[in-house]
Amino acid sequence: MPAPITKHFLPLADGRQIHYRRAGSGPPLIIMHPSPNSSASMINAINAFSDAFTCLAIDTPGYGISDDFVDDPDMLWGYADALAKFLDGLGIEKSFVYGAATGAQIGIQFARKYPARIHAFLLDGNGDFTGDLDIAPGYFQDVTPVRDGSHLIRIWDMCRQLGVFFPWQSMRGADRVNTDVGSPEGIQRAVNDYLRAGPGYKKGYYEAMRVEKWEYTRQVTVPVFMARNESSVLFKYTQALIDKGLPVNFTVLNCDSRTRYPMQLTALKGWIGDRTFPAPKPSPADTSATSRMQNMYVKARGGFLRARANLTGKGRPIVALHDPAGSSLLVEPMLVPWIGKRPVIALDLPGNGESDNVIEPANITSAAYAAIVNDALAGAGIDQSDVIGRYSGGPVAMEMSFAKPSLVKHLALSGIGAYEAAEQKTLLDNYTPSVAPVWDGSHLATAWAMMRDQGLYWPWFNRTRGGIVPSANGIDVATIHLRVTELLKVGDQYQKAYAAMWTYPMRERLPKVAAPTLVCMPAWDPIYAKMAECKAFAPKVGTADLPAKMADWHAVIDPFFAT
Amino acid sequence: MTIKRLFVPITGAQLMVRRVGEGPPVVLMHPSPQSSTFSIPMANKLAAAGFTAIAVDTPGYGLSDPLVGGYPAGLDRDHGLDPFLPPLVQLLDSLGIAKAAFYGNATGAEVAHIFAYNHPDRAAVAMMDTAGHNPDDEVDKITAGYFPDVTPRRDGGHLLTYWDMCHFLGIYAPWQFTDHEHRLQVDAPNPERTQRVMLEYMRAGPAYPTAYRPAFYTAKGHLISRLKVPATLTRWEGKPNLAEIDALIAYGLPLNITVLRPGPSMDQRFDASVDYLVKNYLKTGTPAPKHPDQIDRTAARLQKVFIDVPGGQVFARVCMAGRGRPILALHDPAGSSRRVESLLTPYVGDRPVIALDHPSSGESDKLLTREQISTEAYAKASWVALDSLGIKEIDIIGRYAGGQVGLEMAQQRQGAVKHIVHAGVQIFTDGERPDLLANYTPSIAPTWDGRHLMTAWGMMRDMALFWPWYNRTKSGIVRRDAAIDGNTVHARVEDLLKIGDAYQNAYAASFNYPMAERLKASTTPNLMADLPGAASYSRVAMAKAAAPNVQTADLPDDIRAWRGVFDKFFAS
């Protein structure tokens, strides 16, 4: 069994954060991933090295869930500086470094600028692109969100064709990759990484291609072990680099994808010999004193739940829970006005957003979500809170208070209601079509159209005159894109999350909530009428109209929390 | 009286019209982008009332050729539709019409009044159903974002752009607006309707704004009020935005423009114009138009033609110039005559050539139901079309399943088919058939979210990358350059969407065809030919093994050089 992998954020001086995975013990080994992926794509490498090293696999700034704070992407120098800051933040003076593809190029620039900070350097998936002008034209497509959702198809095409041609946009028989096309699930994972990086995905990726040249690589003076991987799609570029001649500090490891990690490990161990190198200190806290909303992990059930949080305020924390297909990003705007006044935490529920899927798939209920959230908050040392639940977050918040009454001092429930049998059936049958990845990417069209139509009709599949929602802006591209992005992360588990909400026995449970409860909705909410129904069957609860914009909701909720 | 599609030759191009009735001519112009399909109900009403209805596909729309020489740059807003006038004058000339009534809807109404102003001697009356008056700054707002770029993209995403636009035409007006004030209080269009609209956009292609955009700017009081010929303006109660038409009336119209005020139904709308024409134009006794040949039989170029067959019409691309036995080209199941045009091009001018759209494929009428589709039925329909052209003996070039249709044609008329080229051989083992039947033809029926477009695109692209296309593993790789550029895949997808799920039956007919048996029994010389790098190349040898009587040949990479191979065979 490889050492367990933990996940962390390193806050920098200005509050922006680098996300990284950590595993193992021993001297530090920085691991850097290809573009436009994240440290998640390096888990096999982490597992291969964590016996002998403390693996620190970072998400390159702007990729994965690291903030983008690189102002000088030219020639990757800003990324090399970011790596130096990362080492500084962890108190590491000198480290081993492993870079794959873009990660290799960042490592090369780091090694050129900061040679004193590398013990030895593993290069993988690197080569020489000098003179190969076929790669860049058309390689980087514009993926800015557009109203018809076709930017998703563009990303899908790029990710899929990586398994058909290299460069992916080629149509030449000579560039055909001799492999099976990726599975739809695998392609979707790559698509999700593009979505995380956003339209700026080419920022570091493009610079990495520009610097992938013999003239720069050969200037590395630290000890290098370079993989010559015969099964890599980049093999011919690696060979081209070797053919130009490498300095004596380079050792070439002839390998294939199967033998690569063992050979790299052996080479490093051989270089180390009898010497010992200090291990890094434990990771510091995820968050810092800042006015920003930051990322934070809370542990639950052996996994990590991602939260968007700011803990600088005083008093009871305010916890916000999102809707079935959403994530903390969808409720974050409502918390921002409390920053500095109260601690605020928006959690990604298990399986949603960036949280590990620590919920039992066969038992997805509001109570099951609540039990995990309660564990997570307890683990984070939170024993009292005010909770805001949006849509399905409402029943979860209620169940939190049933399971642990002392934890929940106030409940603000937005968009909750009782769904009667006939309504439940219609919604269960129609509301949540599968968005599981399919070979042609057509699930992306479904996901986009559904999230678009949620702004146009209620329920969204009732595309008749009777279903029209009088929305002020029926096609808000940025919102649709965010919702689709989060939907694709949770995938078809959103079906169960929605079902849990609709089938929740609201009529029975709401009257039993002991904590002060406010049911609240903006007038535009298509289920606004359910608020009055709630008041009718649970007379104890308060009700309130919320302002149209979520960023203004605190004006109504804050006085209620003060009661 | 049956409405018929016909091509009318004009200078350097062909315009398609729908024609019905016998009497004084009424020229009908359609809204954008659409085509004369829109005009069918009105054309039938006019025919019943004693007129000849000539419903025109505006140049660049429907099946009419685009403007010869392209749309000129630098026109001011008042003259934006002027380039469409010369082709219409030529149309009248070709039809022997001295003077006609013009009736148009939306863009068509704009074309009608601009035509009548510029050619008062050729327009007996200009009928605008409907028009309006919008100030330029208002039009600027409406047209901003109205015309997205639909140039084919390699990923097929432009199909979602088309779909979005066509779907939202029924949600907001203008379609790209997103505020509640501009929301249409109606049911969303169903996917079938959206797809019909989309196919009209696809026929027009990326140039779809050519007449559409300038028509927004000619809807102006100062242009319409200068008309000197008798004219009508229909103020139809069912029109969603009556304000712009009332603005035109308020602008002040001269006495020669009569305002018609029909009630809200479509019938009321159209009948108002028919009644006007009956009262004011029918009695002029203007003679009915001539019936010109659809094609120039001496011209050495492929031309479009509709061929009358029992029950409807078949579309073809033909060139009758040249000598010797005509060559018939037949397309594959999801294709159309467009896909075999390049096989015939080298013969144009030397030998007569014909490429047919199978019934229910391409632009041919839906003469065969899904269940009626078979290799035999395609063969029979091809003979009916050839009979109509007076052609008795032919050589055939069939692309994939087209070769099977050729075999059936030879079987159906002994001695009438002299040679059959199978350019790509469609022969399968019993072991292969169940897998192909089960997987090769997924449904591409219209879906609410447009996802069928992604399926159609992915399939047509992967046909160039894998064999069979759904075997996306190492073992399925087609190891050669792949024509997966946007334009190539787009043309295939457009043909596929036209036949729709009936392509499943067409492919099934081909997979199930007893090719080996028929080849063995064939008394016609058969040439089995393919590119050595093609995924289907091994089928040439399979056919030879099954039927030693066939001839075989390798095709060169350059399709223009295929003629050399075919000619050797035709000479045998």
Indicate the number of domains in chain B: 2
* A contact residues 465-504, partner B, Cβ 8 Å cutoff: 465, 468, 470-476
Among B284, B314, B336, the domain boundary falls at B284
- Is B506 inside a domain boundary? no
Distance from CA of A526 to the nearest CA of B (A): 15
Of A77, A70, A6, nearest to A39 by C-alpha is A6
CB B455 within 8 A of CB B442: yes
Q: What does the DSSP assignment read for B352-368?
A: -EEEEPPTTSTTS---S
Nearest CA among A379, A349, A276 for reference residue A500: A349
Among the candidates B229, B257, B284, a domain finishes at: B284
Q: Provide the β-strand partners of residue A307.
A: A296, A347
Q: Which segments of A391-452 are extended strands (E)? A: 408-414
Q: How far is A153 from chain B (nearest CA, A)?
A: 6
- B491 Cα to chain A: minimum distance (Å): 17
Q: Are B178 and A164 inside 8 Å of each other by CB?
A: no
Same domain, A526 and A385: yes
Q: How many CB pairs under 8 A join A and B?
A: 113
Residue B145 lies in a domain: no
Residue A352, in any domain of the structure = yes
Q: Looking at the structure, do residues B269 and B341 belong to the same domain, yes or no?
A: no
A301: domain CATH number? Answer: 3.40.50.1820
Instruction: Please name the residues in contact with A233: beta carbons below 8 A apart, sequence gap of 6 or more.
Output: A166, A177
How far apart, in Å, are the Cα atoms of B281 and each of A478, A479, B229, B278?
A: 56, 57, 12, 6
Q: Alpha-carbon distance B53 to B46, whole Å?
A: 6
Q: How does strand B312-319 pair with strand A408-414?
A: unpaired
- Beta partners for B417? B394
Quick one: A216 and A190 in the same domain? no
A217 shares a domain with A192: no
Q: Phi, psi at residue B551, to the nearest 5°?
A: -100, 160
* B313 and B406 inside one domain: yes
Percent helix, strand, coil in chain A, to 5, is: 40, 20, 40
- Residue carrying structure tokens 């899929």: A160
The DSSP secondary-structure symbol of B549 reads T
Are A69 and A105 in the same domain?
A: yes
Q: Are B142 and B216 in contact, with CB atoms under 8 Å apart?
A: yes
pLDDT by 10s per residue, chain A, length 563: 899 999 999 999 999 999 999 999 999 999 999 999 999 999 999 999 999 999 999 999 999 999 999 999 999 999 999 999 999 999 999 999 999 999 999 999 999 999 999 999 999 999 998 876 556 788 999 999 999 999 999 999 999 999 999 899 999 999 999 999 999 999 999 999 999 999 999 999 999 999 999 999 999 999 999 999 999 988 999 999 999 999 999 999 999 999 999 999 999 999 999 999 999 999 999 999 999 999 999 999 999 999 999 999 999 999 999 999 999 999 999 999 999 999 999 999 999 999 999 999 999 999 999 999 999 999 999 999 999 999 999 999 999 999 999 999 999 999 999 999 999 999 999 999 999 999 999 999 999 999 999 999 999 999 999 999 998 899 999 999 999 999 999 999 999 999 999 999 999 999 999 999 999 999 999 999 999 999 999 999 999 999 999 999 999 999 999 99
| Residue A297 phi, psi dihedral angles, 5° rounding | -105, 140
Copy the structure tokens of residue A78.
């800003």
Separation CA B158–CA B155 (nearest Å):
8
In chain B, how long is the greatest CA-to-CA distance?
82
**What are the pLDDT digits (tens) for B216-230?**
999 999 999 999 999
Domain presence at residue B226: yes
Q: Do B91 and B6 meet the contact criterion of CB atoms below 8 Å apart?
A: no
Closest residue in B to A453 (Cα–Cα): B449
| Structural contact between residues B328 and B419, judged by C-beta atoms closer than 8 angstroms | no
The chain-wide mean pLDDT, for chain B, equals: 97
Q: Cα-flanking dihedrals φ and ψ of residue B286, to 5°?
A: -55, 130
Q: B166 to chain A: nearest residue by CA?
A: A148
In Å, how far is A547's CA from the nearest CA of chain B?
19
Q: Tell if the CB–CB gap between A181 and B186 is shorter than 8 Å.
A: no
> A159 and A92, same structural domain?
no
Q: Which residues contact A28 (CB under 8 A, 6 or more apart)?
A: A53, A54, A56, A90, A92, A95, A96, A279, A280
Q: Is A147 on the interface with B (CB under 8 A)?
A: yes
Instruction: Flag whether B366 is in a domain.
Output: yes
Note whether residue B246 is domain-resident: yes
Classify residue A425: in a domain, yes or no.
no
If asked whether residues B259 and B327 sit together in one domain, one would say no
Helices (H) and strands (E) in chain B, counts: 20, 16
Which are the contacts of A282, defined by CB distance < 8 A and separation ≥ 6? Answer: none
Specify whether B270 is located in the same domain as B323. no
Cα–Cα distance for residue pair B340/B444, rounded to 1 Å: 23
Q: Which of B160, B183, B452 is nearest residue A149 as measured by Cβ atoms?
A: B160
Same domain, B280 and B313: no
Contact at CB, A178 and B453, closer than 8 angstroms: no
Q: What is the pTM of this model?
A: 0.96
Q: Is residue A278 part of a domain?
A: no
Same domain? For B223 and B336 the reply is no
Whether residues A161 and A31 share a domain: the answer is no
pLDDT reported for residue A472: 87
Q: Write down which residue in A199, A233, A258 finishes a domain.
A: A199
Using the Cβ of A563 and the Cβ atoms of chain B, whether some distance falls under 8 Å is answered with no
User: Residue B241: which pLDDT band, with cuts at 50, 70 and 90?
Assistant: confident
The token pair that represents A183 in the structure block: 């599975």
- Put simply, the answer to whether A171 touches B482 (Cβ < 8 Å) is yes
Domain-located, residue A491:
no
Q: Is residue B50 part of a domain?
A: yes
Q: Are residues A171 and A223 in the same domain?
A: no
Dist. CA B513–CA B404, nearest whole Å: 8
Chain A closest-CA separation from residue B466 CA (Å): 10
Residue B561: domain span:
303-428+512-570
B344, B46 contact by CB (below 8 A): no
Tell whether A164 is within 8 A of chain B (Cβ). Answer: yes
ipTM: 0.95
Q: Closest Cα of chain A to B155: distance in Å?
A: 6
Q: Quick one: A260 and A304 in the same domain?
A: no
Alpha carbons B344 and B352: distance in angstroms, whole number: 9
Please answer yes or no on whether B451 and A446 come within 8 Å at the CB atom.
yes
Does A99 lie in the same domain as A218? yes
pLDDT digit string, tens, across residues B40-78:
999 999 999 999 999 999 999 999 999 999 999 999 999
Element holding B20 (H helix, E strand) = strand B13-20
In this structure, are B46 and B99 located in the same domain? yes
User: B307 and B277 in one domain?
Assistant: no
Same domain, B277 and B310: no
Contacts of A457 in chain B (CB under 8 A): 188
Quick one: pLDDT at residue B1?
Answer: 83
- Say yes or no: B261 and B129 in one domain: yes
Q: How many CB atoms are located within 10 Å of the residue B222 CB?
A: 9
Tell me the nearest-neighbour CA distance from B189 into chain A, angstroms: 9
On whether residue A283 sits in a domain, the answer given is no
Decide: A331 and A393 in contact? Cβ < 8 Å: yes
Which one of A468, A471, A473, A524 would you mutate to disrupt binding with B, by most B Cβ within 10 Å of its Cβ? A468
The closest alpha carbon to A358, from A309, A398, A304, A408, belongs to A304
**Quick check: B160 and A440 CB within 8 A?**
no
Q: Can you tell me whether residue B489 is helix, strand or coil?
A: helix
Chain B positions in Cβ-Cβ contact with residue A437 (cut-off 8 Å): none
For residue B530, what are its two tokens?
A: 């393919």
Give the number of other Cβ atoms within 10 Å of residue B564's Cβ.
Answer: 12
Q: In terms of domains, do A122 and A13 share one?
A: yes
Residue B494 has pLDDT above 70, yes or no: yes
How far apart, in Å, are the Cα atoms of A437 and each of A155, A192, A441, B169?
Answer: 13, 12, 7, 29
Using CB atoms, pick whichever of B155, B188, B453 lies closest to residue A157. Answer: B155
Residue A452 in contact with residue A475, Cβ under 8 Å?
A: yes
A134: nearest Cα among A101, A105, A175: A175
Would A298 be classed as within a structural domain?
yes
* Domain annotation covers residue B452: no
B-chain CB neighbours of A465 within 8 Å are 185-187
Collapsed DSSP state (helix, strand, coil) of residue A268: helix
Whether the predicted pLDDT of B179 surpasses 70 = yes
- B510: how many CB neighbours lie within 10 A of its CB? 24
A447: closest CA among A409, A481, A407, A475? A481
The CA-atom distances, in angstroms, between B65 and each of A59, A305, A421, B194, B412 are 55, 61, 58, 24, 36
Question: Which residue of chain A is at minimal alpha-carbon distance from B485?
Answer: A171
Distance CA A483, CA B106 (A): 38
Contact assignment for B472 to A156 by CB distance below 8 Å: no
For position A134, what pLDDT does the model report? 59
- Angle in degrees, CA B508, B509, B511, rounded to 5: 60
CA distance A155 to chain B (A): 9
How many domains in chain A?
3
Clarify whether residues A80 and A229 are in a common domain: yes
Cβ contacts of B188 on chain A, cutoff 8 Å: 457, 463-464
Is the minimum CB–CB distance between A88 and chain B shorter than 8 Å? Answer: no
Tell me which chain B residue has its CA closest to the CA of residue A475. B178
B254 and B322, same domain (yes or no): no
What's CA A161's distance to the chain center, in Å?
23
Q: Contact at 8 Å (CB) between B332 and B339?
A: yes
Asked whether B473 and A181 are in contact (CB, 8 A), the reply is yes
Confidence (pLDDT) at A132? 63
Question: A366 lies in which domain range?
Answer: 294-419+504-561
Q: Are A436 and A541 in contact (CB under 8 A)?
A: no
CATH number at residue B99: 3.40.50.1820
- Asked if A233 and A308 sit in the same domain, the reply is no
Tell whether B117 is covered by a domain.
yes
Q: Report H helices in A90-182.
A: 102-113, 150-161
- Do B257 and B335 share a domain, yes or no? no
* Cβ proximity of B508 and B497 under 8 Å: no
Pure H helices in A179-280 = 184-197, 202-211, 214-217, 235-243, 260-272
